Amino acid sequence: MPTTMKGPAIFLAQFAGDAAPFNSLPSIAKWAAGLGYKGIQIPTWDGRLIDLEKAASSKAYCDEIKGICKDAGVEITELSTHLQGQLIAVHPAYDAQMDGFAPAKVHNNPKARQKWAVEQLKAGAKASRNLELDVTVSFSGSLAFPYLYPFPQRPAGLIEEAFKELAKRWKPILDVYEDYGVDIGYEIHPSEDVFDGATFEMFLDALGGHKRCAINYDPSHFLLQQMDYLAFIDIYHERIKAFHVKDAEFNPDGRQGVYSGYQSWLNRAGRFRSLGDGQVDFGGIFSKLAQYNYDSWAVLEWECCLKHPEDGAAEGAPFIQHHIIRVTEKAFDDFAAGREDKKLLKAMMGI
């Protein structure tokens, strides 16, 4: 049975802050609903919005959270564990930067930081089940990304060993998600080891095709890599379980291209934009997802180098609503159909 995708929804990570209405779940949920959003995606590292450990251990607390959202006029789409997922695998070159994603008690201690992240991810599975959610979204982390460009030549086996280790770290986590009936939609993103279709396949193969290894589809990252993001849906639609609606533009010139010359976001050839201000073909994307019966949420992720976030949020809800295709249960030419007549059919074929 064809199903229309849900939305519009909004990822709260880029909007949460210390000033009202962005500093608590009740107020930010009402703010989102007031803009026309029907769902909110909650970043689990932000204690102003959710206590992840409490959500993992208390169904009553989760019922309270759901009640807060219902009273505001929205529902929770997914929990996000992006920052914790990033810490499952950290190359030493990024250690100092990544400590900011974890509590002070594990700073300067990569093993303790990873152990903390693993427990956070497991809590994400339990909390999602307590909230009656079937999907979470996250990052894979990275061990090999510093070796992206193969010069000097990579030692034989380096990439294979990296994905073997990545899968070794993630499989026990994914097994917990299997126990609770929850998928992890990995956001396929440069700086992660899983940054395009080929690397997703390598990860999935190393995991033995784990059924809970899924995709959070975000076309902005594919446009900046100059990938065919519509063909990506054709290839991987069975694994797409979440959708970040985010725009981007790529304007190469004589000075810079895909790598963007270490420039600021404002001055990069490739940069993120508010919905409708970039180059992503959302008409094509929403059509493809409808074709393959994607039935989960369309979630705005706002990251723009120019526009004010509140303006981007206000414009995002009607943009997504306009693009959601209410799928038909009828074929356009049903009126011309006739009853099956086997005699006629044989006559038409001369048999």
Q: What is the pLDDT of residue 334?
A: 72
Flag whether pLDDT at 302 surpasses 70.
yes
Least trusted range by pLDDT, from 118-127, 285-294, 297-306, 324-333: 324-333
Q: What is the pLDDT of residue 336?
A: 67
Residues 6+ apart with CB under 8 A from 20: 27
Whole-number Cα distances in Å, 260 to 97, 247, 280, 304: 21, 17, 19, 16
* C-alpha dihedral (319, 316, 10, 229), degrees to nearest 10: 60
Answer for the pair 11, 244: CB distance below 8 angstroms, yes or no: yes
Flag whether pLDDT at 331 surpasses 80.
no
Q: What is the pLDDT of residue 33?
A: 98
Alpha carbon distance 68, 30 (integer Å): 9
Name the pLDDT band for 328 (thresholds 50, 70, 90).
confident
Mean pLDDT along residues 254-259: 97
Backbone angles phi, psi at 213, to 5 degrees: -85, 110
Q: Residue 334 carries which side chain, given as an amino acid letter?
A: D
Query: Model's pTM, two decimal places?
Result: 0.95
Please tell me whether the peptide bond between 8 and the residue prior to it is cis, using omega within 30 degrees of 0.
Answer: yes
What is the set of domains in the chain, with CATH numbers?
Answer: 6-349 (3.20.20.150)
- Could you report the per-residue pLDDT of 147-172, keeping only the tens digit for each? 999 999 999 999 999 999 999 999 99
Q: What is the pLDDT of residue 1?
A: 74
Q: What is the pLDDT of residue 351?
A: 92
Q: What is the pLDDT of residue 41?
A: 99
Alpha carbon distance 223, 221 (integer Å): 6
- Could you report the per-residue pLDDT of 25-84, keeping only the tens digit for each? 999 999 999 999 999 999 999 999 999 999 999 999 999 999 999 999 999 999 999 999
Q: What is the pLDDT of residue 335?
A: 65
For residue 142, the cross-strand partners are 90
Flag whether pLDDT at 338 surpasses 90.
no
